[in-house]
Amino acid sequence: MKVFVTRTLPGKALDRLRERGLEVEVHEGLLLPREELLRKVEGAVGLIPTVEDRIDAEVMDQAPGLRVIACYSVGVDHVDLEAAQARGIRVTHTPGVLTEATADLTWALLLAVARRVVEGVDYARAGRWQAWHPELLLGLDLGGLTLGLVGMGRIGQAVAKRAEAFGMRVVYTSRTPKPLPYPYLPLEDLLATADIVSLHAPLTPETYRLMDRERLFAMKPGSILLNTARGGLVDTEALVEALQGHLFGAGLDVTDPEPLPQGHPLYALPNAVITPHMGSAGKRTRERMAEMAVENLLAVLEGREPPNPVG
């Protein structure tokens, strides 16, 4: 029985599949062209895709014996869940394991934007650092500012704990209020209140471009937008406009489109700090994600209930 893995994975988790006598095919390249995905998935009973891979009905139909799609991710918006259900294919994911790593990266982006770290590095490397000056690269002091969290799942709550350590006030919005020690606000009130808005909501048809032009300009003047969730939550063209005078800056680990093409206007803005979707990129975290994906896949193939099913 064949398992196709769409990228090399850190650690030794895939060895478990080989030990069970499964044929494991791993795509070695950085990019996986669509036509190659369609070709390599043929004959597979198990598939381990990443968020880069669009797994739709066409892919599933290339592998009539496919029994499980074990996503190497928390989000599953890259998988057509209705098509999988219609074909009796189980879909799993890797929740929980990347909470702290993603919260860390969210905080790294906040510090980088608020204290203009990337601008400072570029300034020094360009040979422009000739003297200290009281008004050089002035940024924002975080203590006493209000952090507004849009989405209050595991990652949102982990970010809130970091904010408390920095002496910040935390408010949040979500589909429903939660029993948490932070004030709940409707989204529009949060945008008008928060000095930093951090997105931690799933991407759904309802949340697509949640932060459109109207909402970006409803944020406080001089505030910061952070997105370590999904790029589709933000209207990218409107964000480019908002960063040219309305917002202090933005920290983005995800974008729409993703990746951003070379020459995109966001790259030209010094107050936009952009990282290549590396929120979970801690070595231990990524190895644990691989272990979870493999365990989910094996459970389905061996007739057990997977630990982390979707739906």
- Which residue ranges form the domains of the chain, and what is each CATH number? 2-96+282-301 (3.40.50.720), 99-274 (3.40.50.720)
Which pLDDT does position 311 carry in this prediction? 76
From first to last of the 311 residues of the chain, give the pLDDT tens digit: 999 999 999 999 999 999 999 999 999 999 999 999 999 999 999 999 999 999 999 999 999 999 999 999 998 999 999 999 999 999 999 999 999 999 999 999 999 999 999 999 999 999 999 999 999 999 999 999 999 999 999 999 999 999 999 999 999 999 999 999 999 999 999 999 999 999 999 999 999 999 999 999 999 999 999 999 999 999 999 999 999 999 999 999 999 999 999 999 999 999 999 999 999 999 999 999 999 999 999 999 999 999 999 97
Alpha helix locations (H) across the chain? 14-19, 34-40, 57-61, 81-86, 99-114, 117-125, 154-165, 187-193, 213-218, 236-242, 283-301
Cα 293 from chain centroid (whole Å): 17
Amino acid of residue 4: F
Cα 17 from chain centroid (whole Å): 27
Catalytic residue among 119, 241, 258, 287: 258
Residues 6+ apart with CB under 8 A from 160: 147, 149, 152, 170, 172, 180, 182
Say whether 258 is catalytic: yes
Say whether 264 is catalytic: no
Catalytic residue among 277, 286, 288, 295: 277
Radius of gyration of the chain, Cα coordinates, nearest whole angstrom: 21
Catalytic residue among 230, 286, 291, 295: 230
85-138 confidence digits (pLDDT tens) = 999 999 999 999 999 999 999 999 999 999 999 999 999 999 999 999 999 999
Residues 242/216, Cβ–Cβ less than 8 Å: yes
